[in-house]
Structure 1
């Protein structure tokens, strides 16, 4: 049953987890898992029978799709608890046009991840150690690919893509905070793996170049840039972005990184600030003037692009008739 304190897990195989008892409920059938995942992604909003049919069967729906969806909802209710119990009736609500999932006092690990990620980003601005710790907690919630066994339909596939993008942004923020923290050591190998897994995502390579330079491995840092340059030219026909080009220019212009900090006080952060100023601000003089600002704007544009996609998805759902009578809530001030 999805009750108070329960957690609906989407960051991996779909399941319902009960932290108090340690037990979990896993829908045995692929259709029940997809149904639960779809209702959870759209929690608080009615999902029409037509959209559920498309999510569960795609282009080959059964002859009586409405009855088939109703049968799967009934099975899911039995799995979550007594079908006549008020908790289950209030959790999966039958609406005139479809079904709605109310979480009530339950939660999802996806929302927990988003909240911790936001807190970590905010904290990292003034306290990199605390920010890194919060981002690490957020990332530890992942048990595998998001909605790992429910990506067949458009709703879950789109949500899985959004969550994966948020995970990568959280990873970038985590390693940036680690580099700015008092104890940034031990992350070079992890950044090498991430840069290899995501060769077209330049931020990981940028952070790796910083880590290598700080470890007095300047030639390897330059090799990272060359590897990315060749990959981008071959696969996309473009050059690296301004941030990565500026990093290379700084490495070519300047010698070894500052001396390693002592493991006390906040020297790690102060060293990073001095290094960042040396390799980002002064590196962009001459033809590359303004590249640092361009890189910052680029990262902000990525965040705004995600927010725009989310608002568009909500607007389309409202326009299609979901809660059509309810006005749009004003956007919170950031």
Structure 2
């Protein structure tokens, strides 16, 4: 059994490959609230506050009904657990017994931890691990929408971690030469997270590696206007533009990327690419304005 909150809360029977139906929205909300604090007692008052009930008189009876419905679904899905039910009454509330590997959030964190450990030395393996971790997401945490204060912190934390995971995923995709595939995915990510400078920067890099320099400059112009209005500065985008202005090999060759560099600010000056002794250690000086004029006219960065 897999307990899922990376999307609408539900139960997933891995043996049959099917979701266990939870027909009542309030039962799904109850499951999501319990999964926000697995293995820990959640007070009845907390469950009531997150239930969305408007009639205080009906709350105790209705909560009991949804607890009973959820318990019945769990026992129906796992009949061998009749002697050790997952949902139990504890300390004035209820607790749901779930091991980390039995929840999609737990599996996501496990895979992400592995990816972070291998990112520097194995971008290909890291990319594949991140594909598996991101595939666990079926939509916004707990399905989005109102889900009560008990879940708000969990939702915000998971969404931030997902954003960081996307940045690492795209970084590995570009380091392994998947720039063509990354462009449409990055556009979707930028649309979903328009204030994430890292994603705009990675989109610029992906476009440059596809020979679409003018589009990269367009991304810079639009993102800079939006991000400057909110954050006041755009160090990643500015550094990427500087790389464009000097024809840095990083823009066209994944092997030229310094694996220690988290962002363009750490990349340092243009250098000879590993395995390419004929590559210039530096580029002939030219003005930023002159070079960008050529980019916008399509005269450079047109080869794939």
SS in 2 for 1:63: helix
Match of 2:242 among 217, 241, 249: 249
SS in 1 for 2:12: strand
Say whether 1:282 aligns with 2:277.
no
Contact 1:191 1:208 in 2 (8 A): yes
Contact 2:208 2:252 in 1 (8 A): no
CA gap 1:259/1:139 in 2 versus in 1, 3 angstroms: closer
Distance 1:12 1:108 in 2: 12
Q: TM-score, normalised by structure 1?
A: 0.71
SS in 2 for 1:94: strand
Aligned to 1:62: 56
Distance 1:32 1:140 in 2: 25
CA gap 1:258/1:152 in 2 versus in 1, 3 angstroms: closer
Contact 1:151 1:160 in 2 (8 A): no
Structure 2 residues not aligned, in runs of 5+: 271-304
CA gap 1:74/1:149 in 2 versus in 1, 3 angstroms: farther
Say whether 1:19 aligns with 2:14.
yes
1:154-303 to 2 correspondences below 5 Å: 154-234=149-229, 236=230, 238-252=231-245, 254-255=246-247, 257=249, 268=254, 270-273=255-258, 280=265, 281-282=267-268
Distance 1:105 1:233 in 2: 40
Structure 1 residues not aligned, in runs of 5+: 1-5, 262-267, 285-334
Aligned to 1:326: none
Aligned length: 268
Distance 2:164 2:124 in 1: 18
Q: TM-score, normalised by structure 2?
A: 0.77
Please state how far the C-alpha of 1:230 moved relative to its aligned partner. Answer: 1.3
Aligned to 1:117: 112
CA gap 1:214/1:154 in 2 versus in 1, 3 angstroms: same
Please state how far the C-alpha of 1:198 moved relative to its aligned partner. Answer: 2.2
